[in-house]
Amino acid sequence: MSISKKIINKSIDLSFIYFLCILTLCLWGMVVMYSSSYHEANIHNLPHYYYLQQQFKFFVLAIFVSIIVRFINFKIITIFIYPLIVVSIICMLLTLYSPYGVSILGAKRWLEIGPIPSFQPSEIVKVSTILFIAKYYSKENHPDYIPLIIVLINASLILLQKDYSTTVLYLLTSFLMLLVCGCDFKKLFIIGLFLLIPALYAILAEPFRIKRIVSFLNPSLDPNGINYQINNSLLAIKRGGLFGVGLGNAIYKLGKLPEVQNDFIFSNLVEETGFFGVIVTLAIFYLVFRIGYTMSVKLFSSDKMKSYICFGISSSLSLQLIINVMVVTALLPPTGIPLPFLSQGGTNLFFTIIETSIIYKIIVELQTLERDINKSSGEMKNILIEGEEYSINNISKINIETDFVNYLKDIN
C-alpha cells in the first residue's frame, strides 16, 4: 500500500472514530446525568426527567449548529472569529452591568435575554479566545501584546463574575496556546507573576476560600462541614468497587452528595459503574484528545491556524477533565469545573459539542483533500514539473496534504 493510501485510510479511521467517540460521550453523558439528577429533581418537586430535558434541549441545538459548521466553508468561519471575540466581551459586560445578568448565589455568571435560554458568556469567551489566538498567530508579523491584552481583559471579566475556577482554566488554556503559537515565554512568565497578586487577593478576600484551602490540606478538619462533599465523594468512589452497583442504584446521590449532577458527577459514575466503567469512559476521552493533538501535529506545517485550533480545543477539554477528576478524588480543592459531556450544564455541553465539531470538520476536510490527491495520482502515471519527470511514487513522498496541491495549482 502506498504512503498516500495509508494516510487516507488513517484519516478515514480518525474521522469515524472521532465522530463515534463524541456521539458516545454525548449519549452516555445523558444516561449518567439522568441517573445522577432524578432524585435532585424530585426534591424540588420537578419532573424526574427535568434536568435531562434541559440538557437535551442544548444537545439538540448544538447538533443543529454543528451541522451548519460542518457544511459551511472554513473561510466563512474565519471571517467571524474577530467579531466573535468582540461579541463575547460585550456579553460579559452585559452579564455584569445590565439587567439581563442573572445572579445566582451572589455570582452574576448567566445572561438571559428574552426567549433565549440563560447561558454563561464565559463559555463563549473560552472558545472565541482559542479561535482568535489560532487565527492571529497563523499570520506573519504578529506582536504579542494584542492577544495578551485580549486574554487579560477576558480573564478580568470572568474574575469579576466571581468565577475563579473558570478564570484559572481560561488562563491555563490561553497561556498554553500562546506558548505553542510562539509567544515570548519571558512575557508569559512576567504576566504570570503579575497575576499572582490578584489571585492571592481573591483567595484572602473570602474567608470561606481560606477555609477551603486549609480543609483541603487537612481532610480531617470539619468532616461534616466544608469537607462533607469531598469525603462523601471518596466514599462513593470506594463503594463502586470494580464493577459498580449498577446504574440508578447509587445511594450517595440521595442527599449525601449535594448537586451530584454537576461538578461531582464523576463520583456517581464510579459508584454505579465501578473501576471498569470509569476506565472505558476515560479511554473514550483519551481517544478524543489523542486525535485532536494528532491533527494539531499533522497540520502544523501546512495549516497553522487549524493546527492551533485543534491544540487549543483539545487542551481546554483535557484540562477540564483533569481538574474535575482531581477535585472529586481530593487531589485539588473544590473548584466548580464541570466534567465535559457529563456534568449538568447546557451552555458547557453546547460549546463542547461545537468545539469538537470544528475538529471533526478539520479532520473530514483533510480526509477529502487526501482522497482527491490519491484519485488524481491514480489517473496520472508521470508528471512533468519544471522540465523534470516525477513518478507518482516520488510525488507521494512530498507533503501531499497541502504543498503538492498548491504546487499543481501554481503551475496550472
Parent domain of 411: 380-412
Tens digit of each residue's pLDDT (9 = 90 or more) over 35-81: 998 888 888 888 988 999 999 999 999 999 999 999 999 899 999 99
Q: Residues 385-394: contacts with CB within 8 Å, 24+ apart?
A: 385/411, 386/411, 392/2, 393/2
**Using the 8-state DSSP alphabet, how is residue 339 labeled?**
P
371 and 387 belong to one structural domain: no
361 and 389 belong to one structural domain: no
Q: How confident is the model at residue 86 (pLDDT cuts 50, 70, 90)?
A: very high
150 and 239 belong to one structural domain: yes
Q: How many domains does the chain have?
A: 2
46 and 91 belong to one structural domain: yes
Q: What is the rounded CA–CA span in Å between residue 86 and residue 64?
A: 24
The answer to whether the beta carbons of residues 265 and 342 sit under 8 Å apart is yes
391 and 281 belong to one structural domain: no
Question: How many percent of the chain have pLDDT more than 70?
Answer: 82
Amino acid 221: pLDDT:
67
Which of 82-96, 188-202, 333-347 reaches the highest mean pLDDT? 82-96
Calculate the alpha carbon distances from 16 to 9, 361, 364 in Å.
Answer: 11, 12, 9
Q: How confident is the model at residue 370 (pLDDT cuts 50, 70, 90)?
A: confident
Amino acid 401: pLDDT:
43
Three-state secondary-structure class, residue 143: coil
183 and 264 belong to one structural domain: yes
Q: Is 384 exposed, middle or buried (0-12, 13-18, 19+ CB in 10 A)?
A: exposed
Calculate the alpha carbon distances from 299 to 44, 292, 371, 400 in Å.
Answer: 50, 11, 16, 11
318 and 241 belong to one structural domain: yes
330 and 405 belong to one structural domain: no
266 and 394 belong to one structural domain: no
Average pLDDT, the chain: 82
pTM of the model: 0.84
More confident residue, 60 or 10: 60
173 and 301 belong to one structural domain: yes
Q: Beta partners for 111?
A: 101, 119
At residue 248, φ and ψ (nearest 5 deg) are 90, -10
Tens digit of each residue's pLDDT (9 = 90 or more) over 284-342: 999 999 999 999 999 988 889 999 999 999 999 999 999 999 988 888 887 778 999 99
The amino acid sitting at 256 is K
289 and 182 belong to one structural domain: yes
226 and 278 belong to one structural domain: yes
The amino acid sitting at 119 is F
Residues 6+ apart with CB under 8 A from 347: 58, 119, 120, 123
**Using the 8-state DSSP alphabet, how is residue 139 labeled?**
S
User: In three state form, how does the secondary structure of 274-306 look?
Assistant: HHHHHHHHHHHHHHHHHHHHHHHHHHCCCCHHH
